[in-house]
C-alpha cells in the first residue's frame, strides 16, 4: 500500500508546477494584450479570460495524451499563476512608465 502522504506531496508539487509555469505566461500575455488594449478594466478581463481559456485548452489537449490526465484543479492553478504574472506585469509597467516619464 502506498503512503498517502506521498500522494498529497505529488499533487501539491504538481499544482505548484502549474502555478509557476503560468506565472511568466501571465506576465507576457499582459504585455502583449496591453499593446492593443489600453482601458485598464477591459485589459484585465481580457487577460483573465485568455488565461482561463489557455488553461482549459491545455488540459483538454492533455486528456488525449497517454498516461496523462486533465483536471479543473490544474486549470485553477494555471489561472492563479497567470494572474500572479499579470499583476507582476501591471506593476512592472506602472514602475517603468513612471520612470520613463521623468526622463
What pLDDT score was predicted for residue 97? 86
Please give the model's pTM, rounded to 2 decimal places.
Answer: 0.82
Q: What is the distance between the alpha carbons of residues 93 and 23, in angstroms, rounded to a whole number? A: 16
Answer for the pair 61, 1: CB distance below 8 angstroms, yes or no.
no
Given a cut of 80, is residue 60 above it in pLDDT?
A: yes
> Does the pLDDT of residue 83 top 80, yes or no?
yes
The answer to whether 64 touches 6, Cβ cutoff 8 Å, is no
Condensed to tens digits (0 to 9), the pLDDT of residues 33-54 reads 999 998 999 999 999 999 999 9
pLDDT of residue 62: 92
Q: CB of 74 within 8 A of CB of 18?
A: yes
Average pLDDT, the chain: 89
Rounded to whole angstroms, the Cα distance separating 71 from 79 reads 13
Amino acid at each position: 500500500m502506498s503512503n498517502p502522504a506521498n500522494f498529497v506531496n505529488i499533487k501539491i508539487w504538481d499544482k505548484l508546477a502549474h502555478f509557476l509555469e503560468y506565472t511568466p505566461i501571465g506576465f507576457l500575455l499582459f504585455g502583449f494584450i496591453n499593446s492593443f488594449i489600453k482601458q485598464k478594466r477591459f485589459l484585465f478581463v481580457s487577460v483573465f479570460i485568455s488565461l482561463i481559456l489557455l488553461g482549459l485548452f491545455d488540459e483538454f489537449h492533455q486528456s488525449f495524451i497517454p498516461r496523462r490526465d486533465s483536471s479543473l484543479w490544474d486549470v485553477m492553478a494555471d489561472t492563479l499563476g497567470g494572474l500572479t504574472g499579470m499583476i507582476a506585469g501591471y506593476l512592472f509597467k506602472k514602475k517603468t512608465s513612471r520612470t520613463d516619464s521623468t526622463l
